[in-house]
Structure 1
């Protein structure tokens, strides 16, 4: 029976509504702070060079080391979340990464920068997939899509507010004889710790422990979640090595890797490119750095509205990737103002591509490998977050310009367009291995090249 024909019990609907109203706001706030703390280093590149001696190469490597720590500890972190519960583990993750951010205000050499960026990845590891896992423990398949969409809105918002907030904190330069970048790390890290403690009072790990649900609502929600879990547990397991060499998984990973290259390059290098305009305060740089993301978020939701019912998302994804490639190429031409406009185009293409990629990837994989396959695509593809800033830093130090990095991103996006042509297309409502019946997709896996 299709989801449209499924009658959801009233008690289950009430329970889901209460979860969305009570739990999602704090989870969205946590994600917003998460995104701000992992990318705020992009606004202090010049300050780190002047005060600590961090070269462009060292900055790029340090920015990318975050993703190595994150990738290594993502799976163990999720296993510990299942053991200790979301309330303990998600708040532990946030308080720990806040402490690392505070420690970054004491950086005095490049090795401390490397070590703390790596530790930040270790501390944050498992947060994003951990929240998605939390949704599986609380929500049935039919309600997780809505929850995930609301949650991911926090990521989109973070890109817009990070610049102005970080820029404003950098204006504290000289207060108490302390550099503005040290104030920025100290205050943003302290806020993360505070939100982590607040989350500990709001989050509830188990349905039966929720005091704001009636017993009828607890039972109805528990039964719905248990049914979905039983269906997932019956799915056959597939080894990671087999998944790596699965043709569709390999193609999707390559496409997502190329998308991550562009996404994280813009994230970490946009503020320094804006600074080339000259004569701007830290707050003004932050405001201008938000412009590409404002345009990108508007375009992202507009694109999603017009493509939700499209029979084939691949042409739209190809167009978005071409926009990204065009923007990164044009950014090498003209004045810094023209470069900002070009990077806005690249950000629009990248965000729209991310919106289109995951639904396409979900529908294109066999049901028996969908969950582990998408996790593998997300895990390996996100290593573009290490490669991209590292490559940018090296090319800037060796050539004196970021143009080489922008050319590389443009080429990667064009290659991703070619990869899209090899992604399997299925009719809407069907999945390979679903025997022609509408498939239950489970929770959407959203990439972190956001």
Structure 2
């Protein structure tokens, strides 16, 4: 079949076939990579149940250590994403994974606050380029109109990591005393070393760009390369493509603040939920199973939410409504006096937090391209993580030490999510004034 001579229906069929083939090759692997990335940064929530006592951490100190990860994460985010653009995703992501897998395993040998803080900081440095790098990488392979759903599939790894990782982490905590190691030490070792092996596998599996994809037919490679180049050219002509363009664009700041609320919620659940649920008297393994329930709910609903965002060509309301739901869920969790109400609240919150992210990450490349896109994505991730990942855990830990329970911390998280809902809605108001058409891409429909 000559692509130049097919009709519109054939064009659509061919496009879907190529996108499906690319998705089957890339999506499962990057889901696995993000699964390990997220697990390695939040497994500290399970470890902290006994580690805090063993190495002398208060709740506030633990919150500081959990949050300092993001200081390193923020510092290295933009340089790492620009390095990926220069050296290629395959090599750079492989290197990052090997380094952070070793550092995560090394956390098993933290002996006090200083070593814990140091290891968390350098772990943040190592992981900094992975998430924004994959978001950028997806923009090399998937036309904008397919990107929210693919991003949702990738980002489903975060709740999936908690869903599958929670029972595993709970079981590892029960290895206390084996080979003279604490259960929390086994947790870090057993969940860190497989990441190193995956990093090595990345060198042989990922492909940097469509032109190099020998696993696509020549006609498919040519079509995808032309399509992605067409989008880049359109963004460069109508949008912004330099590093400075991203830094000075007010929309990048606005999306950063929206992302901050979702990050606060994500890491509140990822880091603190095991300790919050543990107060209802569950064993470690039971705790793992119970903690998996809200994440199972999020995995299913976030994918459906993103599919609807792609189907309706709408982004900002999908973000705003999801953030609103998450804020309400956190409020319920703060009021919870039973395990059942807590799990329902966390399930609603988990849905909203995770469902907001795929349509949100489809928005930066609607008005940025080239180095501006790499920089803008890294800035949004870094600035959002500064508030959500660094300040959030610290505030929750401090409020827990002050009040004796987690309610005030959960109310704080709820407030940040409600602010994100308002800001996301205001992004749409700016769009109607002509800065960006909601739900559209400068290269075509999203």
TM-score range, shorter chain: 0.7 to 0.9
Give the counterpart of 2:349 among 340, 346, 351.
Answer: 346
Whether contact under 8 Å (2:145, 2:310) holds in the other structure is no
Task: Show the counterpart of 2:45.
Answer: 42
Task: Show the counterpart of 1:406.
Answer: 410
Shift of 1:217: 4.7
* CA RMSD of superposed structures (Å): 3.7
Aligned positions, number: 435
Shift of 1:115: 0.7
Give the counterpart of 1:89 among 83, 92, 116.
Answer: 92
Whether contact under 8 Å (1:252, 1:377) holds in the other structure is yes
Shift of 1:167: 1.3
Alignment of 1:330-345 (within 5 A): 330-337=332-339, 338-345=341-348
Does 1:395 pair with 2:380?
no
Alignment of 1:362-401 (within 5 A): 371=373, 376-383=379-386, 384-401=388-405
Task: Show the counterpart of 1:98.
Answer: 101
Task: Show the counterpart of 2:329.
Answer: 327
Structure 1 window deviating more from structure 2 (7-16 vs 128-137): it is 7-16
Shift of 1:81: 2.0
Structure 1 window deviating more from structure 2 (113-122 vs 76-85): it is 76-85
Q: Could you list the runs of 5+ residues in structure 2 that have no partner in the other structure? A: 1-6
Aligned-partner Cα distance in 2 for 1:443–1:124:
32
Aligned-partner Cα distance in 2 for 1:224–1:368:
15
Shift of 1:185: 0.6
Alignment of 1:51-90 (within 5 A): 51-90=54-93
Does 1:182 pair with 2:185?
yes
Give the counterpart of 1:415 among 393, 416, 419.
Answer: 419
| TM-score, length basis structure 1 | 0.83
- Residue by residue over 1:386-429, the C-alpha shift from the partner in whole angstroms, topping out at 9 and shown as x without a partner, is 111011111222332222212222333333344344332489xx
Alignment of 1:217-296 (within 5 A): 217-234=220-237, 235-237=239-241, 240=244, 246=250, 248-278=251-281, 280-296=282-298
Alignment of 1:22-37 (within 5 A): 22-37=25-40
| TM-score, length basis structure 2 | 0.83
Structure 1 window deviating more from structure 2 (259-268 vs 138-147): it is 138-147
Whether contact under 8 Å (2:235, 2:443) holds in the other structure is no
Task: Show the counterpart of 1:299.
Answer: 301
Aligned-partner Cα distance in 2 for 1:12–1:229:
18
Instruction: Name the SS for the 2:57 alignment partner.
Output: coil
Give the counterpart of 2:128 among 125, 129, 132.
Answer: 125
Task: Show the counterpart of 2:4.
Answer: none
Aligned-partner Cα distance in 2 for 1:443–1:33:
33
Shift of 1:321: 3.5
Shift of 1:32: 1.1
Aligned-partner Cα distance in 2 for 1:199–1:367:
28
